[in-house]
């Protein structure tokens, strides 16, 4: 299948985990994929693996918490590929795991800069290009924590709730330009990012009974939601937040 042939898909936070899985699945559908994260080594490895499998991929570094870096990512993408059809905001920061009263200011600042400011500005930049093109899709990675706050994850949860609201606002205001905006809400997934939970037996004993399917997800099980929301099968869908959580929020 090549339903994304001639489409340019940019994915932040794509050096590992869910972002990496998204990149591989879009590339398998014929897309020109641009993988981005702070780690040049990491994104080069993902891009090279895609190319070895016969896909098309480029790698551009970006610190999602830095304005100049975000500006540069979109500028380089347009200069090198001439268009931007799908923007996937997937980079995230969760530098603190602990009681809300003890969170340090630097952790507060980093979480807001990456998860809220970064998503908002990146969506603006991508949307401005898509407005020129007359079409485009933006997909934001939120979390089930955006609906039900995670224990010891206060600001991270709040930032993910902000992404849900942001998605709805962008969807309403960008529809007139042919731009659809949706969010995916992954549940607990087996990634390095979530290792504070997945590698903690006490936490797993608390969390797993709340998941009807009784297990954590693999990144490859989350990624298809992004392909669906970016595809023509979802062309009348905008402003939704789609949980992929094994039934946790049911």
Residue-averaged pLDDT of the chain: 96
* pLDDT tens digits along 115-162: 999 999 999 999 999 999 999 999 999 999 999 999 999 999 999 999
By mean pLDDT, which of 49-63, 151-165, 191-205 is the weakest? 191-205
Residue spans of alpha helices (H) in the chain? 17-28, 40-52, 67-81, 105-112, 118-133, 154-174, 195-198, 201-207, 219-222, 224-230
- Is residue 223 very low, low, confident or very high in pLDDT (cuts 50, 70, 90)? very high
Domain 8-244 superfamily per CATH:
NAD(P)-binding Rossmann-like Domain (3.40.50.720)
From the list 81, 96, 119, 156, the catalytic residue is: 156
How many angstroms separate the CA atoms of 216 and 248, rounded?
Answer: 11
* 105-117: average pLDDT: 98
Residue carrying structure tokens 């402003």: 239
pLDDT at residue number 131: 98
Residue 232 tokens read as 């023509």
Q: Residue 200 pLDDT > 70, yes or no?
A: yes
**Residue 182 to residues 139, 171, 189, 240, Cα–Cα distance (Å):** 5, 7, 20, 5
Which residues, 6 or more positions from 89, have their beta carbon under 8 angstroms from its beta carbon?
12, 118, 119, 122, 123, 138, 139, 140, 141, 163
pLDDT at residue number 1: 52
Q: Is 156 a catalytic residue?
A: yes
Query: With contact defined as beta carbons under 8 Å apart, do 190 and 219 qualify?
Result: yes
pLDDT at residue number 207: 87
Query: With contact defined as beta carbons under 8 Å apart, do 243 and 182 qualify?
Result: no
Q: Which residues pair with 8 in a beta bridge?
A: 32
Helix (H), strand (E) at residue 56: strand 56-59
Could you state, in order of their start, the residue ranges of all structural domains in the chain?
8-244
- Name the DSSP letter for residue 217: B
Count other C-beta atoms under 10 Å from residue 157's C-beta.
21
In this prediction the pTM is 0.96
Q: Which residues pair with 241 in a beta bridge?
A: 183
């Amino acid at each position: 299948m090549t339903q994304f042939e001639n489409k340019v898909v940019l994915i932040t936070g794509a050096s590992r985990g869910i972002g990496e899985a998204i990149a591989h699945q879009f590339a398998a559908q014929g897309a020109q994929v641009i993988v981005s994260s702070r780690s040049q080594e990491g994104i080069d490895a993902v891009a090279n693996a895609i190319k070895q499998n016969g896909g098309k991929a480029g790698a551009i570094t970006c610190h999602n918490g830095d304005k100049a870096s975000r500006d540069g990512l979109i500028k380089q993408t347009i200069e090198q590929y001439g268009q931007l059809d799908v923007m996937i905001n997937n980079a995230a920061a969760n530098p603190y795991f602990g009681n809300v009263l003890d969170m340090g200011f630097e952790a507060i600042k980093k979480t807001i800069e990456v998860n809220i400011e970064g998503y908002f500005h990146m969506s603006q930049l991508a949307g401005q290009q898509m407005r020129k093109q007359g079409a485009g899709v933006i997909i934001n990675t939120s979390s089930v924590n955006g609906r039900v706050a995670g224990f010891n994850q206060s600001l991270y949860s709040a930032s993910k709730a902000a992404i849900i609201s942001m998605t709805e606002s962008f969807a309403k205001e960008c529809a007139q330009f042919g731009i659809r905006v949706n969010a995916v809400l992954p549940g607990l997934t087996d990634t390095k990012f979530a290792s504070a939970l997945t590698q903690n037996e006490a936490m797993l004993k608390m969390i797993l009974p709340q998941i009807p399917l009784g297990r954590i997800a693999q990144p490859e099980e989350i990624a298809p939601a992004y392909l669906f929301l970016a595809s023509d099968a979802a062309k009348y869908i905008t402003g939704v937040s789609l949980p992929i959580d094994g039934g946790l929020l049911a």
